[in-house]
Structure 1
Amino acid sequence: MAPQANELWNEVHLSNIKAIIKDLPSVDTERIYILGHSMGGHGTYIITQIDPNYFAAAAPSAGSGLKDTEEFIDVSKIKDIPFWAFHGDNDNVCPIDKDLKVFAEMKKIGGNMKFTTWKGEGHGIPVKNFTDNTQGNTQLSGDRCDPEPVLLKWLFAQKK
């Protein structure tokens, strides 16, 4: 699924997604993933906090908020979900500092998060995330993290 939104994601959106998936018997409910860029990245963080047990993995890209966005990510709620966040260090739309703070907090509490920084890149990084991630600088929050360097291989290896 690739839902689009013109507002921030919330419980209603998640309920709608769950209802659609429930009616699709071929979906492996042990392998439901959530990814998003920019507002979709915000949604990735928001939705996983609403129901942390629903997703097998999450991959937000430039998703920690705009310059003036209040902090909205409670890492204690999502620390056990395999996360791989991506951000360009020259992003002037959604500054990297908020995502770096999330990563530092995940590291501090033993969360399961990988973080890739795209050096010299701005907000337009989604294609890079699906290509050779060895070009980005990837850090792991701890020993729980799968070091696989290719996003889709990493993603499809995750299972609840």
Structure 2
Amino acid sequence: MKKIILTICILFPVLFLNAQDLKKYDRGSFIKRKDSIYYRILFPENFNPKQKYPIVFFLHGSGERGNDNASQLVHGGKLFLKNDVRKNFPAIVVFPQCPKDDYWANVNIDKNANGKRTFSFVDGGKPTKVMHALQGMIKDFLRKPYVNKDQVYVGGLSMGAMGTYELLRRQRRKFAAAIAICGGDNTNNIRKYQKVPLWIFHGAKDDIVDPALSMAIAERLKSVGDEVKFTLYPNANHNSWDSAFAEPELLSWLFSHKK
């Protein structure tokens, strides 16, 4: 019992500090006509509105959907709070949240005979409600005088990676580079974002989103795209974002690109 109490006493301050750190992300919302989307935003340390900063939009997975404007920070939120990251890559970081009943990408999800989810991505098509709102939110951010329009980036994991591909094909001219972790897309859409530098990640043992989806995109882009990197983690399952976030060159690669 004493050991249990001691463990709790040790862990509680750590968990509390992590929660406190995430509070450094301010709460915000974009509401215009029928569009509405909530987000958390992290400004650089010693933010100066008279300067221009890179901006990163990060899209969460399906498990973090909701209306609490907090869950979207579960995966990736702590990455941008690291002291060395804030020091070496001063940027504005935005985590929008997708509602529970919506989806970033225009995709049909079914289950095969084995009960495994299958994804059928739309070739073209209209954006989902939240994707429409997301585009409006991004457009609004790019009007801010402190945003460097030559350094606009997007990334996402799982459903958010699917949304990343969709956003790239809808607003490809806005982004200097992108990262997509364990996602997928209709390969017919690739031609619309083949000029955008892209780093794709996936776990070879992923039993939620088939790694073949990322492989197909990477192979197609290698033949027609300007710059594509593909990293397949042989022992990773769906949570390949843990390995991707630990890549030492991840952010240096991302921020090295400018339009």
Do the two structures share a fold, i.e. TM-score over 0.5? yes
Q: Pick the TM interval, shorter chain.
A: 0.7 to 0.9
Deviation at 1:18, TM superposition (A): 1.5
Of residues 121, 138, 141, the one that matches 1:17 is 138
Q: Which amino acid aligns with 2:250?
A: L
> Normalising by the residue count of structure 1, what TM-score does the alignment of the two structures yield?
0.80
> Normalising by the residue count of structure 2, what TM-score does the alignment of the two structures yield?
0.50
Could you report, residue by residue, the CA deviation over 1:98-145 in whole angstroms, capped at 9, with x for unpaired residues? 110111111122442111111110111212112136xxxxxxxxxxxx
Q: Which amino acid aligns with 2:236?
A: E
Identical-residue share of aligned pairs (%): 30
Work out whether 1:79 is the aligned partner of 2:172: no
Corresponding residue of 1:138: none
Q: Which amino acid aligns with 1:159?
A: K
Corresponding residue of 1:35: 155
Tell me the matched-pair count.
138
Moved over 3 A (4+): none
Corresponding residue of 1:144: none
Q: Which amino acid aligns with 1:5?
A: C
1:42–1:63 contact (8 Å) kept in structure 2:
yes
Corresponding residue of 2:166: 46
SS of 1:8's equivalent in the other structure is coil
2:187–2:220 contact (8 Å) kept in structure 1:
no
Q: Which amino acid aligns with 1:75?
A: I
Counting only pairs closer than 5 Å after superposition, residues 82-121 of structure 1 correspond to structure 2 as 82-121=197-236
Work out whether 1:4 is the aligned partner of 2:101: no
2:141–2:147 contact (8 Å) kept in structure 1:
no
CA distance in 1 between partners of 2:171 and 2:234 (Å): 32
* Greater gyration radius: 2
CA distance in 2 between partners of 1:73 and 1:128 (Å): 28
CA distance in 2 between partners of 1:110 and 1:126 (Å): 24
- Identify if the C-alpha distance between structure 1 residues 5 and 72 changes in structure 2 by more than 3 Å, giving closer, same or farther: farther
- Identify if the C-alpha distance between structure 1 residues 96 and 74 changes in structure 2 by more than 3 Å, giving closer, same or farther: same
Deviation at 1:8, TM superposition (A): 2.6
Q: Which amino acid aligns with 2:211?
A: I
In the alignment, structure 1 segments of 5+ residues that lack a partner are 66-70, 134-149
Corresponding residue of 1:152: 251
2:187–2:216 contact (8 Å) kept in structure 1:
no
CA RMSD of aligned residues (A): 1.7
Counting only pairs closer than 5 Å after superposition, residues 52-63 of structure 1 correspond to structure 2 as 52-63=172-183
Corresponding residue of 2:12: none
The structure with the greater share of residues assigned to strand is: 2
1:46–1:73 contact (8 Å) kept in structure 2:
no
